[in-house]
């Protein structure tokens, strides 16, 4: 079986061809998508629970008249699950908790000059919404990646939405993460409910989690509305780039490329290597491994717009990677740690032959909610800070104000802000008396 990936020589391409080669797969018809999502959001804002129930029955085949998951539902889900899967979910949860707990920020206190004390405080966002995609397989890992940081940050209200039917694995993971409310609704309608609220679902301050193009567009629209909700990050289809030298194992490379390709038909997998032989052997390995995949058809579609790039050397491979700015970056070279300082744009980096991207997806401890579509140039992987907000505190003594007053009054004069100046001078007059 052929791999389906094209192989190209980077140095033989013009600049325009290089740009085209690194372009992401085209998104769905944006104007039609935008209008459809806007209509759904408008209906939820107007008709609340009624519209939410109608959409959930129409799109997700919900049975019954309620989309609220009860405590009893959660207990029964845990009882139905086997010990092996519960232990795996618990281990993954503990790993993520350990890594994210290390990100807790202490109060920063600095005396910038005698009598002038400045502080930086971190406070949890009060209410957050977690969107967990539905589809062909449950995603308890995404519950952990969004729920555990919210729990550690101390968010007082954690709301989870996911299309019906909710798998027992999702409910069990949610219980570990201290999720307060769970609703079996999905799609753009769930995002709208979280952003604006309905009779049953109270609005949240910020929405987290990946989803399909409708969910992504809904998150974009509500985040652009001052009456809506903030979101974690812009996102698109999943992607991976592998940098491999001549000694890399083609079977490992193929497995990593396919693990991303099976996510969806619009996912993208890229190999960059200075070795023509590694590129050719990886193509053969992909063909072999495709044959045993349950999601082979999906992976084949993704591979159709994936590419194997043969470059001049590893330094050029790094340049190509930084230019593409992948969501996941796997480095299979002789000394991967030595390359790490040069890798400027990536959501999550996996160093060495024994670090498949799968460990980050599930249980190494890092977060798998990552920016895609080149946004790693400006956005970060999801972390504890995303569930918190920062604010500053300052406190001056009388002597501190006396020392700082000349600077403040001079700058206020320069900007023509008399009231700003007087807020200082009126105090100084009292001190001088």
| Count of alpha carbons within 13 angstroms of residue 151, beta-carbon side | 22
- Using DSSP bridges, classify how beta strands 116-124 and 388-396 pair: parallel, antiparallel or unpaired: antiparallel
Known catalytic residues are 327-328
Closest CA to 38 of 266, 206, 201, 228: 228
**CA–CA distance, 42 with 55 (Å, rounded to integer):** 13
132-138 long-range contacts (CB < 8 A, ≥24 apart) are 132/160, 132/161, 132/162, 132/170, 132/209, 133/162, 133/163, 133/186, 133/209, 133/210, 133/211, 133/212, 133/215, 134/60, 134/162, 134/163, 134/164, 134/186, 135/163, 136/295, 138/167, 138/169, 138/170
> What three-state secondary structure class fits 197?
coil
Residue 155: alpha-carbon gap to chain centroid: 18
For the four alpha carbons of 404, 406, 410 and 412, in that order, the dihedral sign comes to positive
Length of the chain: 433
Closest CA to 209 of 124, 132, 321: 132
**CA–CA distance, 244 with 340 (Å, rounded to integer):** 14
| Count of alpha carbons within 13 angstroms of residue 301, beta-carbon side | 10
E strands, 279-404, are: 307-310, 328-332, 348-351, 388-396
């Amino acid at each position: 079986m052929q791999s389906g990936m094209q192989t190209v020589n980077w140095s033989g391409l013009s600049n325009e061809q290089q740009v085209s080669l690194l372009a992401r797969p085209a998104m769905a018809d944006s104007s039609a998508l935008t209008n459809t999502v806007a209509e759904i959001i408008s209906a939820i804002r107007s008709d609340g629970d009624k519209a939410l129930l109608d959409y959930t029955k129409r799109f997700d085949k919900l049975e019954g008249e309620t989309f609220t998951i009860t405590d009893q539902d959660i207990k029964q889900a845990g009882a139905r699950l086997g010990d092996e899967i519960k232990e795996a979910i618990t281990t993954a949860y503990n790993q993520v908790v350990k890594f994210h707990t290390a990100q807790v920020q202490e109060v920063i206190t600095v005396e910038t000059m005698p009598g002038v004390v400045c502080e930086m405080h971190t406070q949890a966002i009060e209410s957050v919404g977690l969107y967990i995609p539905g589809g062909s397989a449950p995603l308890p890992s995404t519950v952990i990646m969004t729920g555990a940081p919210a729990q550690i940050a101390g968010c007082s209200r954690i709301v989870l939405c996911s299309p019906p039917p909710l798998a027992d694995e999702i409910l069990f993971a949610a219980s570990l993460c201290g999720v307060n409310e769970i609703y079996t609704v999905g799609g753009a309608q769930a995002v709208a409910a979280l952003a604006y609220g309905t009779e049953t679902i109270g609005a949240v301050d910020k929405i987290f989690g990946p989803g399909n193009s409708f969910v992504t567009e809904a998150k974009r629209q509500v985040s652009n509305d001052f009456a809506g909700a903030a979101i974690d990050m812009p996102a698109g289809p999943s992607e991976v780039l592998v940098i491999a030298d001549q000694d890399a194992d083609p079977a490992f490379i193929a497995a990593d490329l396919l693990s991303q390709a099976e996510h969806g038909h619009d996912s993208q997998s890229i190999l960059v290597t200075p070795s023509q032989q590694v590129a050719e052997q990886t193509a053969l390995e992909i063909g072999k491994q495709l044959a045993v995949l349950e999601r082979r058809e999906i992976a084949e579609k993704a591979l159709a717009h994936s590419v194997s790039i043969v470059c001049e050397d590893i330094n050029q491979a790094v340049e190509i990677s930084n230019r593409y700015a992948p969501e996941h970056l796997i480095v299979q070279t002789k000394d991967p740690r030595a390359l790490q300082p040069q890798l400027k744009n990536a959501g999550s980096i996996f160093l060495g032959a024994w670090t498949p991207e799968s460990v980050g997806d599930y249980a190494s401890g890092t977060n798998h909610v990552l920016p895609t579509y080149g946004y790693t140039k400006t956005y970060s992987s999801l972390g504890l800070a995303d569930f918190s907000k920062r604010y500053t505190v300052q406190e001056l003594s009388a002597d501190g104000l006396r020392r700082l007053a000349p600077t403040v009054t001079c700058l206020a004069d320069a900007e023509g802000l008399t009231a700003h100046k007087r807020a200082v001078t009126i105090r100084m007059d009292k001190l001088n008396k």
